[in-house]
Structure 1
Amino acid sequence: MGKSNRNTDRRQAAEALRKQQAAEARRRKIVFGVAIGAAVVLIGGLLVWGIWMNSKPEYEEHTPAARTTDTYGVQIGDGPVQVDLYIDYMCPACNQFESAYAEQIQSWVDAGTVTVNYHPLAILDRLSNGTEYSSRAAAAAVCAADAGEQQFLDYTLALYANQPAENSEGLSDDELIRIGTEDVGLDASWQSCVEDERYRGWVQEGNASATGDQGVSATPTAKVDGEVVQNSEFAEKVQAAIDAG
């Protein structure tokens, strides 16, 4: 092979290497850009979530007239077995849970074997298109508890019977009031409590307590004498605690 041919081969090899290196550099740039873009989207999403949470107004906390626990539960009954139920009125699984166990819960309460502490939470506020339906419904239910334990239970069942879909605006305050007055028979003082948003702050603090100190991350969550139980085993675990007492 002549000298000119060897030079040509070297130039061609060098050019091929340069093109390969340039292509590799472009690939790394694209991959890096996609990674940065994904990170920006993730960080942006987290920032939006954080801004949304921090932008929620703070409400003054009023202590309900109803019997409540220091962990923001509405107390129903006077039995020795302590049952804690963490619920959200927009949660379909909570509706199913209540439908499955409401009659049994009522029988335990009537028999004096359990105290049921209902914790109305607002985890799903983010799924009501900015209306904070879970908070509003929870506060209205706590107002119903002021009228009596049975009124709270009846209003809870009525809210589930009229449960709005997730990612909807939920029920309006007027609809919450109509359900209470027409379906449950709650009076004008209850209506004033709802209109004044009297227990929005209490619900807000209860939500923070449940998702923070109490370690609740989903609804419904059921505890029997302080221990989390599977929803499918709820009745069995409560009856076992009753029998053991």
Structure 2
Amino acid sequence: MGKSNRNTDRRQAAEALRRQQAAEARRRKIVFGVAIGAAVVLIGGLLAWGIWMNSEPEYEVNDPAAQVTDTFGVQIGDGPVQVDLYIDYMCPACNQFESAYAEQIQSWVDDGSVTVNYHPLAILDRLSAGTEYSSRAAAAAVCAADVGEQQFLDYTLALYANQPAENTSGLTDQELIAIGTDDVGLGADWQSCVESEKYRGWVQEGNTSATSDQGVTGTPTAKVNGEVVENSAFADEVQAAIDAG
């Protein structure tokens, strides 16, 4: 092979290498651009999520006139065994739990065996088409607790009897008030409490406390003397604690 041919071959090889390197650079640039774009989308999504999470109005936190715990529970009864129930008024399983145990809970309260701390939560606000039904119902129930322990229990049962389905807008404030006045006999002061959203902030704080500090991940959650118990074994666990004295 002559010198001229060897030079030609070297030039062709160099040109091929240059094209290969240029193609590789373009590929890296595209991959880098895609990665940056994905990161921007991810960051934008996280920012939007954060903005949405922080877009919930901040309500004034008013302490109820009713007897409550420092963990945002409405206190019913004064017995030695401490029972904590974390409920959501849009939660079908909570409705089933209340239907199964309401009569037994009432009997324990009546005979002085237990103190039941109801924690009305708003975990399922996200399933009420933007109306924050769980928060509104919980705040109305706390207003009922101001009237009396029995009124709180009666209103809780009435709300479950009229429970809306998940992924609906839930009951309106007017319907919540009608249930209280017509079914439970709650009066004008209670209605004013509901209309002013007096306890929305207290419910918000309670929801944060339960999910952040008290280890509650869903509803219903039941605790007996501070220990989480299986819902199916609730009555047996409470009775065992009562018998242990």
Q: Which residue in 2 is equivalent to 1:145?
A: 145
Shift in Å, 1:95: 0.9
Shift in Å, 1:200: 0.7
1:30 to 1:98, Cα distance in 2 relative to 1, 3 A: farther
State yes or no: 1:69 paired with 2:75.
Answer: no
Q: Which residue in 2 is equivalent to 1:238?
A: 238
Shift in Å, 1:127: 1.4
* Superposed counterparts of 1:28-177, under 5 Å: 46-177=46-177
Shift in Å, 1:40: 6.5
Q: Distance in 1 between matches of 2:166 and 2:25?
A: 47
Q: Which residue in 2 is equivalent to 1:187?
A: 187
Shift in Å, 1:209: 0.9
What SS does the corresponding residue of 1:117 show, helix, strand or coil? strand
1:41 to 1:160, Cα distance in 2 relative to 1, 3 A: farther
Q: Which runs of 5+ in 1 are unaligned?
A: 1-23
Question: What letter corresponds to residue 154 of structure 1 in structure 2?
Answer: D
Of all paired residues, the percent bearing the same amino acid is: 86
Shift in Å, 1:48: 3.6
Q: Distance in 2 between matches of 1:189 and 1:159?
A: 19
1:197 to 1:233, Cα distance in 2 relative to 1, 3 A: same
Q: Distance in 2 between matches of 1:28 and 1:164?
A: 55
Shift in Å, 1:35: 8.0
1:48 to 1:148, Cα distance in 2 relative to 1, 3 A: same
Q: Which residue in 2 is equivalent to 1:19?
A: none
Question: What letter corresponds to residue 158 of structure 2 in structure 1?
Answer: A
Q: Distance in 2 between matches of 1:33 and 1:133?
A: 44
What SS does the corresponding residue of 2:54 show, helix, strand or coil? helix
Cα deviations by residue, 1:54-73 (Å, 9 ceiling, x for unpaired): 01111111111110001110
Aligned length: 245
What SS does the corresponding residue of 2:234 show, helix, strand or coil? helix
Q: Which has more radius of gyration? A: 2
1:34 to 1:202, Cα distance in 2 relative to 1, 3 A: same
Cα deviations by residue, 1:148-197 (Å, 9 ceiling, x for unpaired): 10100010011111111111111110000000000111011100000011
Q: Distance in 2 between matches of 1:170 and 1:75?
A: 26
Q: Which runs of 5+ in 2 are unaligned?
A: 1-23
1:225 to 1:32, Cα distance in 2 relative to 1, 3 A: farther
Cα deviations by residue, 1:15-43 (Å, 9 ceiling, x for unpaired): xxxxxxxxx99999999999888777765
Cα deviations by residue, 1:65-88 (Å, 9 ceiling, x for unpaired): 110001110000111000000111
Using the size of structure 1 for normalisation, the TM-score is: 0.84
Q: Distance in 1 between matches of 2:174 and 2:80?
A: 38
Question: What letter corresponds to residue 148 of structure 2 in structure 1?
Answer: G
What SS does the corresponding residue of 2:71 show, helix, strand or coil? coil
Question: What letter corresponds to residue 58 of structure 1 in structure 2?
Answer: E
Question: What letter corresponds to residue 221 of structure 2 in structure 1?
Answer: T
Moved more, 45-54 or 111-120: 45-54
1:28 to 1:87, Cα distance in 2 relative to 1, 3 A: farther
Q: Which residue in 1 is equivalent to 2:220?
A: 220
Question: What letter corresponds to residue 78 of structure 2 in structure 1?
Answer: D
Using the size of structure 2 for normalisation, the TM-score is: 0.84
Question: What letter corresponds to residue 179 of structure 2 in structure 1?
Answer: I
Q: Distance in 2 between matches of 1:231 and 1:40?
A: 44
C-alpha RMSD of the superposition: 2.8
